[in-house]
């Protein structure tokens, strides 16, 4: 590694002194407050916190006075409560799962998109990506940010981007071979699936020019990264992001691959104790709370990501001064990530509560089938429905399945259960059994 040249997209800002980063952060925070005060959503909240002008923010420590924002708040503000610019200036909308049927949306102006793409391009450059790369993006295109937001960043880097989107593994392999793909972007579980297909289809390593993969969108361990690296014979880089924060590239590994740098000129990152909301001591685990510093259309202040991580206190040998975070160790809510798709048990419950003939009890099982995740929803039906014709029961199962897939965008297996057959929990109902191995 010592011999390797360390790549930068913008060396000045990536290696800026702490004082310079903090100067940029303070200016960015004031700017975001000015934007937030233009929205119906934040105006009242900021007033209650004693903030009626950007000048009420004097130092970075004043961020502690600001209110938090949650996924639930975004649902309340749906669709346009957080809009800080005239609607005509919005050029793109993305969305992710909400805790119920209302999705969490973000909107971006052209400038917002340019900044988000530049952050993504900076991340790719930090990992050694260049304009000579052929990048195959195997993340879903559409509302999910892993498709388009990554795509625009890779294009800005100057790479040749192939938007194959997710699935269709045989075509992925054909394109990888025929176009000499050097970098792929996929979830860790899909990378394993791809490896199995490479073997099955009899591709030889020398048929492929693949040298690296960017992976993220779901938790994975260091052991899993090693396994993928060994199997595919490539370097695998961890990438963190979320729709609400403009998608992938919020935190990214440099060529040393020892934790992800967070881009502190574009966001303020706090790690807080999720019960007291006090900052955790350096090096200890807390909930990541993020304030966006450069988004005009939709400001976001102290957004509770629910993701748990810690700062890595030691400086990185790459010379970047932007801090690093460790792999995520969990979440402070019950969100499941199934093949990279976020699913809340409350979304499943919402479908069941609306359906006729369904009883009071249900159970969600998530397990591995090969390298992919499988979701099963066991549903108790009412005694009347149970006594009905098999055709009625089958129709109910099909309807539940299609309503759930419409809401959560993945296909669950729905198992109909006899009334009283599912375990009744005492106290707080335990409705989810995540049987996936922890790595
Ligand atoms: O997953 C954005 C993304 C796309 C990130 C492609 C990386 C690569 P959401 O669908 O909104 O956005 O899901 C965000 O996924 O709060 C984490 O819980 C989880 N997550 C994302 N990246 C990682 C990662 C995209 N590298 C939620 N490790 C986040 C662990 C991750 N969890």
DSSP letter assigned to residue 82 = T
* Ligand 1 close to Cβ of residue 97 (< 6 A): no
**Ligand 1 mean position, distance from CA 217 (Å):** 3
Distance from C-alpha of 22 to C-alpha of 20, rounded to nearest angstrom: 5
- Per-residue model confidence as pLDDT tens digits over 69-126: 999 999 999 999 999 999 999 999 999 987 777 899 999 999 999 999 999 999 999 9
Does residue 311 sit in the same domain as residue 343? no
Residue 398: pLDDT band (50, 70, 90) is: very high
pLDDT(381) > 80: yes
C-beta of 145 in contact with ligand 1 (< 6 A): yes
For the domain that residue 111 is a member of, what is the CATH number?
3.40.50.12780
Mean pLDDT value across residues 2-20: 91
In the three-class reduction of DSSP (H, G, I as helix; E, B as strand; rest coil), residue 191 is classed as: helix
pLDDT at 253: 98
Question: Using one digit for the tens of pLDDT, what is the confidence trace for 175-184?
Answer: 999 999 999 9
β pairing state of 134-137 and 160-162: parallel
Beta carbon of 248 within 6 Å of any ligand 1 atom: yes
Give, using CA atoms, the residue closest to atom 20 of ligand 1. Answer: 217
State mean pLDDT over 410-434: 85
Residue 51 confidence (pLDDT) above 60: yes
Query: Distance from the CA of 218 to the center of ligand 1, in angstroms?
Result: 5
Q: Are residues 217 and 365 in the same domain?
A: no
**Does the pLDDT of residue 428 top 70, yes or no?**
no
Task: From 333, 349, 376, give the residue that closes a domain.
Answer: 333
Tokens matching residue 285: 């685990």
* In the predicted structure, residue 413 carries a pLDDT above the cut 80: yes
Q: Are residues 15 and 52 in the same domain?
A: yes
Q: What digits encode the pLDDT tens for the residues 274-296?
A: 999 999 998 999 999 999 999 99
pLDDT of residue 438: 72
Rounded Cα–Cα distance for residues 291 and 294 (Å): 9
Beta-sheet pairing, 303-309 with 286-292: antiparallel
pLDDT interval class at 2 (50, 70, 90): low
Q: Residue with the nearest Cα to atom 30 of ligand 1? A: 219
Residue 359: pLDDT band with limits 50, 70, 90: confident
In a 3-state reduction of DSSP, which class is residue 230?
helix
For residue 243, being part of any structural domain is answered with yes
Domain end residue (candidates: 333, 361, 383): 333
Alpha-carbon distance of 239 to 122, in angstroms, equals: 12
**Quick one: 215 and 296 in the same domain?**
yes
What is the predicted pLDDT for the residue at 274?
94
Number of domains in the chain: 2
58-69: pLDDT as tens digits: 999 999 999 999
Do residues 310 and 420 share a domain?
no
**Higher per-residue pLDDT: 183 or 428:** 183
Measured CA to CA, the distance from residue 343 to residue 295 in angstroms comes to: 27
Say if residue 292 is in the same domain as residue 413.
no
Report the largest interatomic distance among the alpha carbons of the chain, rounded to a whole angstrom: 73
Taking residues 119-148, what's their average pLDDT?
Answer: 97
Whether residue 150 is found in the same domain as residue 175: yes
Residues forming a β-bridge with 215: 186, 238
Q: Give distance in angstroms: CA of 249 to centre of ligand 1.
A: 10
Return mean pLDDT, the chain. 94
Tokens of 290: 């993020």
**For a substitution probing ligand 1, which of 74, 166, 241, 259 has the most ligand atoms within 8 Å of its CB?**
241
Q: Which residues contact 350 (CB under 8 A, 6 or more apart)?
A: 100, 101, 407
- Looking from the CA of 184 toward its CB, the CA atoms found within 13 Å total 32
Mutation probe of ligand 1 site: the residue of 139, 242, 327 with most atoms within 8 A of C-beta: 242
152 lies in the same domain as 247 = yes
Q: Measure the CA angle with vertex 120, ends 114 and 122; round to 5°.
A: 100
Domain that holds residue 303: 1-333
297-320 mean pLDDT? 97
Whole-angstrom Cα Rg for the chain: 23
Assign 353 a pLDDT band (cuts: 50, 70, 90): confident
Report pTM: 0.92
Q: What is the pLDDT of residues 164-216, one digit of tens each?
A: 999 999 999 999 999 999 999 999 989 999 999 999 999 999 999 999 999 99
In a domain? residue 439 = no
C-alpha–C-alpha distance, residues 344 and 162, integer Å: 31
**Separation between Cα atoms, residue 236 and residue 244, nearest integer Å:** 25
Tell me the mean pLDDT in the region 222-239: 96
Residue 234 Cα distances to 128, 226, 229, angstroms: 13, 10, 5
The reported pLDDT for the residue numbered 98 is 77
Looking from the CA of residue 340, the nearest atom of ligand 1 is: 1
- Domain match, 296 and 427 both: no
Q: Are strands 90-96 and 104-109 parallel, antiparallel or unpaired?
A: antiparallel
């Amino acid at each position: 590694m010592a011999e390797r040249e360390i790549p930068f997209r913008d060396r000045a800002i990536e290696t800026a002194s702490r004082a310079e980063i903090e100067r940029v952060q303070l200016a960015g925070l004031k700017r975001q407050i000015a934007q937030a005060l233009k929205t119906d959503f934040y105006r009242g909240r900021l007033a209650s916190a004693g903030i009626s002008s950007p000048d009420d923010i004097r130092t970075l420590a004043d961020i502690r006075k600001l209110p938090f924002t949650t996924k639930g708040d975004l649902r309340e503000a749906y669709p346009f409560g957080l809009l800080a610019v005239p609607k005509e200036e919005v050029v793109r909308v993305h969305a992710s799962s909400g805790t119920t049927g209302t999705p969490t949306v973000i909107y971006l102006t052209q400038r917002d998109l340019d900044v988000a793409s530049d952050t993504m391009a900076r991340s790719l450059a930090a990992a050694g990506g260049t304009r000579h790369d052929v990048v195959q993006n195997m993340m879903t295109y559409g509302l999910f940010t892993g498709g388009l937001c990554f795509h625009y960043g890779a294009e800005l880097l100057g790479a040749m981007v192939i938007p194959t989107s997710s699935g269709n593994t045989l075509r992925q392999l054909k394109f990888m071979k025929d176009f000499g793909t050097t970098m792929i972007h996929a979830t860790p579980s899909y990378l394993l699936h791809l490896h199995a297909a490479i073997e099955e289809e009899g591709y030889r390593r020398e048929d492929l020019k693949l040298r690296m993969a960017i992976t993220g969108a779901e938790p994975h361990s260091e052991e899993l990264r090693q396994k993928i690296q060994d199997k595919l014979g490539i370097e695998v880089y961890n990438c963190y992001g979320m729709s609400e924060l403009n998608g992938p590239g919020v935190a990214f590994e440099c060529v040393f691959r020892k934790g992800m740098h967070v881009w502190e000129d574009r966001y303020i990152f706090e790690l807080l104790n999720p019960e007291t909301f006090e900052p955790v001591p350096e090096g200890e685990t807390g909930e990541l709370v993020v304030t966006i510093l450069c988004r005009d259309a939709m400001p976001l202040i102290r957004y509770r990501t629910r993701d748990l991580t810690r700062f890595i206190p030691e400086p990185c040998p790459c010379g970047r001064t932007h801090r690093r975070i460790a792999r995520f160790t969990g979440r402070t809510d019950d969100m499941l990530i199934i093949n990279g798709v976020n699913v809340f048990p409350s979304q499943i419950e919402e479908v069941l509560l609306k359906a006729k003939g369904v009883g009071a009890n249900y159970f969600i099982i998530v397990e591995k089938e090969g390298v992919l995740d499988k979701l099963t929803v066991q549903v108790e039906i009412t005694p009347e429905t149970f006594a009905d014709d098999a055709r009625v029961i089958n129709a109910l199962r099909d309807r539940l399945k299609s309503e759930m897939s419409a809401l959560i965008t993945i296909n669950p297996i729905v198992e109909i259960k006899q009334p009283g057959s599912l375990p009744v929990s005492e106290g707080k109902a335990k409705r989810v059994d995540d049987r996936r191995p922890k790595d």
